[in-house]
Chains A and B, each alone.
Chain A
Amino acid sequence: MTKPLPNPLPRPEGELEALEKVWVQPTGWRLLSAVNNSQIGVLYVGTAVLFFVLAGILALLMRTQLAVPGNDFVDQDLYNQLFTMHGTVMMFLFAVPAVEAMGVLLLPNLQAARDLPFPRLSAYAYWAYLIGGLFFFGSLFWGLAPDGGWFMYPPLTSYIYSPGDNADFWLLGIGFIEISAIAGAIEIIVGVLRTRAPGQSLDKLPVFCWAMLVFAGMIVFAFPAVILATLLLELERAFHWPFFIAEKGGHALLWQHLFWFFGHPEVYIIFLPAAGMVSMMVPAMARTPLVGYRLVVLAILGTGFLSFGLWVHHMFATGIPGMSLGFFSAASMAVAIPSGIQVFAWIATIASGRLQMTTPTLFLLGFLFIFTLGGLTGVMVAMVPFDWQAHDSYFIVAHLHYVLIGGMVFPLFAAIYYWMPMVSRHALSERLGRWVFGLMFIGVNVTFFPQHLAGLMGMPRRVFTYPADFGWNTLNLVSTAGAYMIALGVLLFLFDLARKLRPTSEGNAGNLWNAGTLEWLPTGTYQTRSIPIVTSREPLWDQPNLAEEVESGRHYLPRTATGRRETIITSPFDAAPQYVLLMPGASWRSFFAAVFTAGFFLLLTVKLVTLAVVSGGLALAAVIWWMWDTDPGPGHGDVDIGGGLVLPTYVSGPASHSWWAMVVLSLVAGTTFACLLFSYFFLWTVRPDLFPPPGVTLPGLEPAAGVAALYIVSGLLVAFAGKHLAPPRSGRHGVFLAALLLALAGLVAANLLDLARMWDSGLRPAESGYGATVYAILCLQTFFVATITIMALYTAARALAGKLDAVRRVTFDNTHIFWRYTIGQGLIGAGVVHLFPRLIGAG
């Protein structure tokens, strides 16, 4: 016997209308205030495609220049800017945001959530990305574009060889865009783990959701490295702190370590979600469940981990210990295993089903072909001796484009064709689609295959021209012709897009492919009318009538229970409903916050410091305004979602979604700090004689002990404050506020004392790599202490405004998590800078 559905028919009158009303979407210029994933998601993907086109135009300019030897279409300086911008825009403004955007768009649909848990955070990440990205790209028109190559190696990019603002555009622009990516990643992690359809336990989670979870986890651990690297290089450029200058005890290799610690996982950060999308499309196109689901999930997790073991493999040519190179070479080969597993799973699925030859299928097959070729050349360059030969030649350019275009661009095009009927009134044209595919597939091979040969014949990368008598002429001409073919394919695609894309969530083209996953349920602006109970991995195949039941409102929460936007928060493993989350509607707050944050970074880049500070202040104000009506408290009581389930509308502690976000944020902070400690120890291994430099005596141990004691007391005081939050409606905040403010004073004092003592010792950041890293550790702490100061004052203000008490306490809990983190960081930092030099016999 089947279980009865949670909600009976007929549904009360007006229920649907009320639901529609709370989810109504802003239109016209108010679109800027939209926070709903279905709107932001489409804009997000569209913007990523825009950057693909822009960077593609730069590629065409380069290929035009290289078509014939000795060409003078663009000069050397412009060529340097072109390849730097092309590489940077493709990697940072297209590839990563594109897959993140697909996540924001698809995840709630795949999980039948009404939205992801932090819609305004997605909106913030999107606007920050759009504005930051457009300005970054615009730098090209003022000749201000960075020109140091997409990985910006110092010393070339430091103040001596790159004066002027060009490199700053890269450092601040990319640093900023990475912050937006991290904001998106937090949203995705909490979203995948906590906003699923009831019953959609981890073993029924669509592969794409797994891939996005691992993707976001990798961002959390990889991006802090590059954020820290850009910060250090910017400190070196602006204040001459010599992190990367060998004469002063810094080291250029430090940049390479930090950059590639991020840079190699980056390839998988791009590839995993793309593979996740492939794992959704292949079963739909072959009309059969994915073969080896569990193996594929394992492979995704394995790739996520192993890819971190690869960073040095971009530095085979730099003279690192032979044995370390061996480790990395081994890891490079090991990571091929999980990738191979996925490829076999797709092939087996195709073999066990009946493949329909649609445009998405063509792009999928194209992907398999191109990516496999890229993988083969990848195994070649993973062999250290071969890499020494091919290093910095066109062989590498060919390899990297095969991998990136195969592994990411083709799956993305497949995905756009595949999911278009979900977001738009019309699907894209199948007939034109075949042309688009044909032009792009042939074009890519014609462009990049000859480059393997050119590389083996000695043509170096990043040259703006070449002499006629090296035998490279034909290869280059063919390559350029191929690039124009790709461009024609993309143009045709854009034409079709303009004709057919009519974004909508109600009345979309629907489940044309007869796919089995939840995103193909009938939707409105509120996503699905009721939230389905899921008992299978392909519910639409295995649960007959599901679409109809969901649409008629027979599953959970077919209404708005509180008169606001809501979604169900579920438990992370088994997806059991836990509480109903109240969600914000359209709002300008996140938009303004993004505009002013972007303003802060851009103004800083062009050295308008005062204006930058003003903009930063406004950004902060907008964020506080945005935060102010979060943490709504238990005022809405419990609500009945059907089937006898009555859920609270407010929880605090580890069950709360915001607790999860804070923990993830602390992980980001912790990784940044760990990378900084790595930098410190790395510089010690290259210049132990400067730890500390001659003439500098370490500050005494007693003050250091005082600093540690202050941190500990501060921690005890906040914990005490947490136990003395006023009972609801009592207004008795005295003890709480006193303890909180005292704790804050202790924290601030500890950091200031540490800095003052260090300064008194005569150590200066600009004089040695040692000094620079020591002050970086202390100043990072200052940054966190400043953040806690703002959070503490905000928390106090909420208490005084009657928005914080012993029950309605999420604001305090969040502050507390970050507070504890900051104390931990402070203690470890102080331990390192005071004890380590003594341990190695100094002082």
Chain B
Amino acid sequence: MHEAPFVPRFLLLLSGLIVWAGHFLGIYLYTGLLCARPDWVTASLAGIPVLPLGVCLATAAALVLLVLLQIRAMAAGLDRFAGFVTSGGIWLAGLAVLWETLPALTAPGCA
């Protein structure tokens, strides 16, 4: 009659997609903020402009998180269905995160 608590189980199922959402919102807000401040956006760190740098760092963090989640999911002994949806979500999120980082490297910044 009793099953493992719902919230952590459900969050794990959606974890990849949640990381994607956090990353997307993060880079969007970051770009918005930076572009609103002309004095900030021209700054650079070790020769790399802060705008793409920040986005790439966020991407790296998101990818590390996704890898950790995948390891966690594999260790959690999920059933076939939950395992598939969890890992699938993580992979989909990984692709989407990378895909969305491309503009940071190619698009014209704040123009």
Contacts and interface: CB of A to CB of B under 8 A. Distances in A.
A760 interface: no
B107 A325 contact: yes
B103 A329 contact: yes
Q: Which of A302, A308, A572 has the most CB of B within 10 A?
A: A302
Nearest to B1: A576
A576 B3 contact: yes
A577 interface: yes
A719 interface: no
Interface string B52-96: 000100000000000000000000000111101100110010011
A298 B1 contact: no
Contacts of B14: 301, 305
A298 B88 contact: yes
Contacts of A297: 85
A210 to B, nearest CB: 10
Nearest to A305: B17
A688 B40 CA distance: 14
A324 interface: yes
Interface in A107-136: none
B43 interface: no
Nearest to A203: B81
A326 B104 contact: yes
Given A324-B32, A576-B1, A578-B1, A295 B88 contact: yes
A323 B88 CA distance: 28
Contacts of A295: 88
A188 B96 CA distance: 29
Contact of A322 (B2, B20, B89, B111): B111
A623 B98 CA distance: 49
Contacts of A325: 103, 107
Interface in A322-361: 322-327, 329-331, 333-334, 337-338
Nearest to A309: B24
B11 interface: no
Nearest to B29: A681
Given A203-B80, A298-B85, A574-B3, A323 B104 contact: yes
Contacts of A330: 99-100, 102-103
Interface string A279-316: 00000000000000011011001101110110000000
A811 interface: no
Nearest to A573: B3
Contacts of B18: 305
B80 A305 contact: no
B24 A326 contact: no
A603 B6 CA distance: 43
A302 B89 contact: yes
Q: Is the interface of A mostly helix, strand, loop or mixed?
A: helix
Given A326-B104, A326-B106, A578-B1, A305 B88 contact: no
A573 B11 CA distance: 12
A309, A321, A323, A331 interface centre (most CB from chain B within 10 Å): A323
A685 B95 CA distance: 31
A305 B100 CA distance: 14
A822 B103 CA distance: 39
Contact of A326 (B2, B3, B107): B107
A329 B103 CA distance: 9
Contacts of A338: 92
A331 B100 contact: yes
Nearest to A312: B28
Nearest to B81: A203
Interface of A: 193, 202-203, 294-295, 297-298, 301-302, 304-306, 308-309, 321-327, 329-331, 333-334, 337-338, 571-574, 576-578, 685-686, 688
For the complex of A and B, the 7 pairs showing the least CB-CB separation, nearest first, are: A326-B103, A203-B81, A685-B36, A326-B107, A305-B17, A322-B108, A321-B35
Interface of B: 1-4, 6, 9-10, 14, 17-18, 20-21, 24, 27-28, 31-33, 35-37, 51, 55, 79-82, 84-85, 88-89, 92, 95-96, 99-100, 102-104, 106-111
Given A301-B89, A685-B36, 15 more contacts: A298-B84, A305-B14, A305-B17, A308-B24, A321-B111, A322-B109, A322-B110, A323-B31, A323-B55, A324-B32, A325-B107, A326-B104, A330-B103, A334-B99, A573-B9
